[in-house]
Structure 1
Amino acid sequence: MPAGAPLRALLNATNRRGPFILTNTLGRPWTSDGFRTSWGKACERAGIGDLTFHDLRGTAVVRLAIAGASVPQIAAVTGHSLKDVEAILDAHYLGRDIQLAEAAVLKLEARTKLQTVV
């Protein structure tokens, strides 16, 4: 999986203990239960409630869409199906994103080359 420049820099500066990025205190890959427990503890310490790891995936879907990534590109990054990416964008986010609405109107105006009537 490609990593963005900030993550790549952080990973390059981190001492490697093995081939896995996310490991438990023993340096072994997390199990599902171990990750869920650690996630819950981290959210509790941060004072965050009602947030799941999947919420972060959904946020990634939206941020990638706002950045101009296509549905197939987003699915390649997040591991969602094309249908799931579209459902996330449709049901939760894009209808409320003013930047996307403004960009759509500008594209329409540029394509149709509407002339102003004076």
Structure 2
Amino acid sequence: MAEHRPDAFAGVRRLFTGGDVVSPHHVNALLSRHPGLTVVNGYGPTENTTFTCCHLLREPLPAGSATVPIGTPVAGTRIFVVDRGGRPVPPACPASSGLPATASRRATWAFPSRLGNVSPSPAPGG
């Protein structure tokens, strides 16, 4: 819709997107075309039913951005960003997200990718 009907967003103040990888190109095009629009990138695996993290964008991303950041955990949620060996990593590193699945009390390890800028919760016990 952002590509074929960008004017459909005229007057929209906040746009939530999620469910798949968000295109930096399309986010930038919408934000450039519609000043005052806030895009919220909602991130979360199927096991968590809905968004686990959100990142608000009010201005276009830097030129050449390959990803849209997943942001910070929503209230009452924690996220642990780990490398392939399960060790905590700093923000913006290639990683997997460890999202505690509250219903099953197990950690769900999903989405190996470049997560962009994320504000992970402190490591368990840390």
**TM-score exceeds 0.5:** no
Q: TM-score, normalised by structure 1?
A: 0.26
Q: Higher Cα Rg: structure 1 or 2?
A: 1
Q: TM-score, normalised by structure 2?
A: 0.25
**Higher normalized contact order (CA 8 Å, seq sep 6+, divided by chain length):** 2
Q: Which structure dedicates a bigger proportion of its chain to strand?
A: 2
